[in-house]
Amino acid sequence: MDCLFCKIINREIPADIVFEDEHVLAFHDIDPKAPTHILIIPKKHISTLNDIEERDLEVVGRLQYTAAQLARQQGFADDGYRVVMNCNEMGGQTVYHIHMHLMGGRQFTWPAG
Ligand code: 5GP
Ligand code: ZN
């Protein structure tokens, strides 16, 4: 499949991987928007948030769980951090394999841009 993140899962493209289990892969974003910027993805290819099915609920929950675990491991869980999932063009999605952005290490503002 011609999907950048599937290629990272399959080790066809290198990435700085920080966590992997049966369901989830996490790696540093190539163009970080914060001192720590990690992408957490399901190993199953799901194109957008609109394509999540009921059978995917566990893996989607694991994205959030992994974000919290990595925030603790990175040392900013208590100070706070930002998680973001962009959907489709108006949401700013550029890679069509769902991913959770975990960003920490600076003050975030609201509303997001
Ligand atoms: P989106 O804009 O779809 O929400 O997020 C896609 C993210 O993937 C962007 O933050 C972008 O910097 C990151 N990205 C794009 N290509 C690569 C790549 O080849 N390797 C890594 N590690 N991140 C990438
Ligand atoms: Zn994919």
Q: Facing residues of 95 across strands?
A: none
| pLDDT at res. 108 | 98
Write the single-letter amino acid at 90: M
pLDDT tens digits, one per residue of 42-62: 999 999 999 999 999 999 999
CB neighbours of residue 69 within 10 Å: 16
Q: Is residue 47 in contact with ligand 1, taking CB distance under 6 Å?
A: no
Residue 104, judged by CB atoms within 10 A of its CB (0-12, 13-18, 19+), counts as buried
Superfamily of segment(s) 4-104: HIT-like (3.30.428.10)
Of the residues 7, 27, 30, which should be mutated to test ligand 1's pocket, given the most ligand atoms within 8 Å of the CB?
30
Give the Å distance between the CA of 46 and the centre of ligand 2. 7
Looking at the chain, list the stretches that DSSP marks H as alpha helix, in order from N- to C-terminal side: 4-9, 57-74, 88-91
- State the pLDDT at residue 1: 76
In terms of Cα–Cα distance, which of 1, 29, 51 is closest to 59? Answer: 51
Q: What is the pLDDT along the chain (113 residues), one digit of tens a residue?
A: 799 999 999 999 999 999 999 999 999 999 999 999 999 999 999 999 999 999 999 999 999 999 999 999 999 999 999 999 999 999 999 999 999 999 999 999 999 98
Find out whether 23 and 17 touch, Cβ atoms under 8 Å: no
Does the annotation count 99 as an active-site position? yes
Can you give the residue ranges of every domain in the chain? 4-104
